[in-house]
Each structure stands twice: as C-alpha cells, then as structure tokens.
Chains A and B, each alone.
Chain A
Amino acid sequence: MAESTVTFRVFRYNPVTDEKPYWALYPVTVEPGDPVLMGLMRIREEQDGSLAFRASCRSGICGSDAMVIAGRSRLACKTQILHVLNAQREVVVEPLRNLSYVKDLVVDQTPFWEKFYQVDPWLHEDPLSKPPTTERLMQLPESEFDDISKASDCIFCQICYSECPVNGMDRAFLGPQALIKAFRFEADPRDHGTPDRARTLNNQEGVWKCRTTFNCTLSCPKGIPITKGIQALKREMLTVGLGRGGGV
C-alpha cells in the first residue's frame, strides 16, 4: 500500500488553559482506506496525548465519534482520510455544530438528550388495558415492522442534530433525532402514547418547526429517511392539532 503524509488541522480548546480555540496542525502518515478516527488516534498516541475526542466501537455502530470533517458532520470511523482532503492535503476536523464544545472535539450533549427524553421514547401501553398477570409477547407483524425498522436504526450519533440549520438558529427546536425517535413509536401499532407525545410534538418548537431541508436525511450515516418520518409525524399531528383546536 502506498503511504503518504497528510496534515490534520484539528480544532483545539482546553477550557482550563486556553482563552479561545485555535487550530493545531499534525502531520500523519496514512494509507489508502485509513479512516479519520485512525488518524486522530495516531495523533493522540504518537504526538499529543491531550487531544480529546469521543470514540468507542470504531465500526460505525456506537455513534460516538461524530464530528465535523471537511465541513460536514460525519462519523470519523466511517470517513476515509483520502476522501476528505482539501487542496492543501489537509483534513479539517471540528466538533459537532449546534452543541457547545467542552474540550477539543468533545461537545456537551445535554440539550440533545433533554430533547430526546421529551418525546417519551418508549412504548406507551393502552391506559385502559388491565396490567398483565402472566408473561406475554408484544409481537409486531412483519409488515408493520417494515415501517419502523429504519427509524429504529438510529445510533444517537447527533450528526442530524449538528447538520440541521433550524437547530442552529433556534436552540429550542426539538431537532431531527428526537422527532424520528417519536415517529418510531408513533408508527408502532402497539403504542398508545400519542396524547402524551402530542404536547411536545404538536408545538411550535416540535414538528411544525421542521423546514424540510433534508440535511438530516442526507447526513444520516445509517441512511434513515428522517425527513420522511417527520413529514409523517406532521400529518399525524395535524389530526391531533386540529381535533384539539391547535392554536393559530
């Protein structure tokens, strides 16, 4: 394999020692096929042990290593270095957008998780049904599962949240991840949580704030049709909102 040297231009910030963020340059020897995460690990092991970033499985499953690479939010483990070089043979690496940076490439995920929990992301039982007295299976027909299987693939990487321009403009907007998670349960025939969820979804900062820019769908590393799911939620919330006299 042909080795070559590229430069990693990395966003650095240490809240203890730095007044403001700065760019650090690291030369890294790479081979074709090497992912950005490998380059970052090499920097941390061989050049600067203080570089902070999140990573875990290295296989595009855990969603930990999302960051802005060459101007777009991506998983560092799924992005090949040689595919994102700029004209100066640099790889530009920054923290995710729309979330405050804590240290280097690590962001504060609190708003993301707050919004996720706000949509009650679990199956709500029918409040009129009696509690089961014996063990039971809550099975889903295969045809019904097809509707929600893609939405269930979410790995919480926060890339859609970072790429959403509405999130960037309005920090109160629920964001694509919370909405697609709400869709996953709203589309589930076993779920009875619509009245509870509607308080959050049928809201000016809920589904109605989505401007269908499709950034979330384009950027999702799992290929989830997020915008399509949000549009389905809008149609559902339309009946809920109008039925309940949703305000103008």
Chain B
Amino acid sequence: MRQRQYGTTGGAWPWLLQRVSAVFLLVLILLHLWIEHFMHLGAPITFASVKARLVHAVFAVIDYGLLIVVVFHGLNGLRTVLLEIPFLPHRSRAITIGLWVLGVVTVIFGMDILAPFLWGRPWFVLK
C-alpha cells in the first residue's frame, strides 16, 4: 500500500556539498587568517604589498577559492533555511535558481574587487 507521496526528489547533492564546502571553508579561513594577520606580523597592509602577494598563484587561488566557497556555503545554508518555511518547499526550484544567480553575481563582484591587484584595474563593476 503506497500512500500519498510527499515533497520532491533530490537533496543528496546540497547535503553533501554543504559538508564538503565546510571542510574547504575551515582550511581556507585558517590559511586566510594566517596570511593576512600573521605571515608578516606588524608590517602595514598596503595596496602594493597585497598586489605583490596576489601575483603568486597560490595566494590568488586561496583568496578566490575562499570567496567562492564562502558564497556557496552561505547561500546553500540559506536555501536550506528557506525551504524550512512551510509554504516555501513548493518554490524549491525558484529559490534554487534565484540563489544561484545571487551567488554568481556576488562572486563576480568579489572577483572584481580583487581585479585591481592583479590586472591594475577593475573588470567592469567598479569603474
């Protein structure tokens, strides 16, 4: 006897990626804090010093990686919270698409802020 089917399929990927991104987040935040605050303890943070650091691919990857992982983890968590609201699970697809758009825009905006250090000027957002 099969009764009324509740909800929609899926859910494994958001659950897994939230945990995977949490692990990345932990590592990247610790690296970020070490690089920003302890690697050159006492030295003033200047545009030139940040630029000199970011030309090294490792540091750029850490900063851009942190940006992407933070945005994904935060918005995926927000999606879970929104879907907890009783009348919103029916809007699951719209919420997911909306948050993806918000996430991509946020990441592009974040990348644009770092662009002057790497290419001398912002790409397009901060003209």
Contacts and interface: CB of A to CB of B under 8 A. Distances in A.
Genuine A/B complex = yes
Interface of A: 114-115, 117-118, 120, 166, 169-174, 199-200, 202-209, 234, 237-238, 240-242, 246-248
B14 to A, nearest CB: 6
A166 B2 CA distance: 23
Contact of B13 (A115, A207, A246): A246
The 8 A-B pairs at the shortest CB distance, nearest first, are namely A241-B12, A247-B10, A205-B7, A208-B11, A246-B12, A172-B6, A114-B3, A205-B6
B4 A203 contact: no
Nearest to B84: A169
Interface residues of B, number: 23
A237 B92 CA distance: 20
Contacts of A120: 2
B10 A241 contact: yes
Contacts of A203: 6-11
Contacts of A209: 7, 11
A117 B3 contact: yes
B5 interface: yes
A231 to B, nearest CB: 11
B83 interface: yes
B10 A202 contact: yes
